[in-house]
Amino acid sequence: MSFKHKAIQLLEKQLTKQALILDIRPWHNDTFFEVDLHVPDADFSKTNTVQHLKCRVAPLTFNDYTVSGWDVETRTCTLMIHAAHNGAGAEWVKSLSKSDEISYLKTEQHRYPAMDHGKWLFLGDQSAVGHFLALKQLANHNPNISGAIIIPDIEHCKQLRYFYPDFGLKSIPLHNGYTESILAFLDQQPVIIYDGICIAGNTTMVIEVRNYLKQRGIASNKIKAQGFWE
Ligand SMILES: Cc1cc2nc3c(=O)[nH]c(=O)nc-3n(C[C@H](O)[C@H](O)[C@H](O)COP(=O)(O)OP(=O)(O)OC[C@H]3O[C@@H](n4cnc5c(N)ncnc54)[C@H](O)[C@@H]3O)c2cc1C
């Protein structure tokens, strides 16, 4: 190993914290993964806050993954990682096994309005499955949450229904692009009835769907949008 590589390794070791993989569940075709973690240094007790772990996926490369299904006392959680493309994060998650340690830089937090009452609409792609599960956990499973999520693999649609029967979002196929797929669903929705709308996933889709909702009369402060990947 070169001096440069050793120096990078040492630096990363000093800057990062560790989490232990308790279990890892690949979905059909090894293109989506649930990763159960014990994160001893994390604090999952903050209310109305979605957290992300900035995970080291390659030397000096850190990706955000959303904390879902967390337990405050045991400091455990699940990351849900889409890996149907070629990318450092996708390759990284495919290389992981139970009992491995992963390194992360820090946890980042995003505040959300209280969602345990009112009507909410969630819109996104498969990279946002964990994000929407996290919002549902914060919402104490408010039954008035609905929406649509793009799931390109038909087998993943079945697995999502089977493993998360209360997910409550409609799985829709990827057809003519991310924005177009969501807009085909939204065209039939009375969007004005919602107290808030959350959009997450492909960044272009998030921006375009947000603009479309504003054109349909939704105020900016009712839309919570987060671009995840480009
Ligand atoms: C706050 C935040 C939270 C996030 N939470 C999650 C999460 O819970 N789960 C999750 O899977 N991702 C999540 N992401 C996205 C994640 O951080 C990575 O950006 C994403 O996984 C792609 O990283 P990569 O290294 O695999 O691919 P990259 O090297 O970034 O991209 C390689 C190629 O793959 C394409 N690509 C990247 N992602 C996808 C995708 N999902 N579908 C199709 N094509 C893609 C890109 O357009 C590019 O052409 C989150 C991002 C943010 C900012």
| pLDDT at res. 12 | 87
| pLDDT at res. 146 | 97
Ligand 1 pocket: which of 37, 56, 229 to mutate (most atoms <8 Å of CB)? 229
Q: State if residue 55 touches ligand 1 by the CB under 6 angstroms criterion.
A: no
Domains 3-110 and 113-229 share a fold: no
| pLDDT at res. 152 | 97
Tell which CATH classification among 3.20.20.70, 3.40.50.80, 3.40.50.12280, 3.30.70.980 matches the domain 113-229: 3.40.50.80
Q: Tell how far the Cα of 128 is from the centroid of ligand 1, in angstroms.
A: 10
Among 205, 200, 172, which Cα is nearest to 80's? 200
Q: Global pTM?
A: 0.97
Q: 140: which 2 tokens?
A: 């104490």
Interatomic CA distance for residues 12 and 104, integer angstroms: 9
User: Could you report the per-residue pLDDT of 96-138, keeping only the tens digit for each?
Assistant: 999 999 999 999 999 999 999 999 999 999 999 999 999 999 9
Residue 143 has pLDDT above 90, yes or no: yes
Residue 188 has pLDDT above 90, yes or no: no
Q: 62: which 2 tokens?
A: 């850190």
Q: State if residue 90 touches ligand 1 by the CB under 6 angstroms criterion.
A: yes
Residue 97 has a CB neighbour count (10 Å cut-off) of 7
Q: How buried is residue 110: exposed, middle or buried, by Cβ count under 10 Å (0-12/13-18/19+)? A: middle
pLDDT confidence bin for 9, thresholds 50/70/90: confident
Instruction: Please state which CATH class domain 3-110 belongs to.
Output: mainly beta
pLDDT confidence bin for 5, thresholds 50/70/90: confident
pLDDT confidence bin for 176, thresholds 50/70/90: very high
Compute CA 71 distance to the chain's CA centroid, rounded to the nearest angstrom: 17
Beta-strand pair 49-58/120-125: unpaired
Atom of ligand 1 nearest to the CA of 125: 41
Q: State if residue 78 touches ligand 1 by the CB under 6 angstroms criterion.
A: no
User: Could you report the per-residue pLDDT of 39-59, keeping only the tens digit for each?
Assistant: 999 999 998 999 999 999 999
Longest dimension (CA), the chain: 60
| pLDDT at res. 7 | 87
Q: State if residue 65 touches ligand 1 by the CB under 6 angstroms criterion.
A: yes
Q: State if residue 152 touches ligand 1 by the CB under 6 angstroms criterion.
A: no
Nearest alpha carbon, ligand 1 atom 47: 230
CB 50 within 8 A of CB 109: yes
One-letter amino acid for residue 147 of the chain? G
Residue 185 has pLDDT above 90, yes or no: yes
- Could you state, in order of their start, the residue ranges of all structural domains in the chain? 3-110, 113-229
One-letter amino acid for residue 16 of the chain? T
What Rg value do the Cα atoms of the chain yield, rounded? 18
Q: How far apart are the first and last CA of the chain?
A: 33
Nearest alpha carbon, ligand 1 atom 44: 85
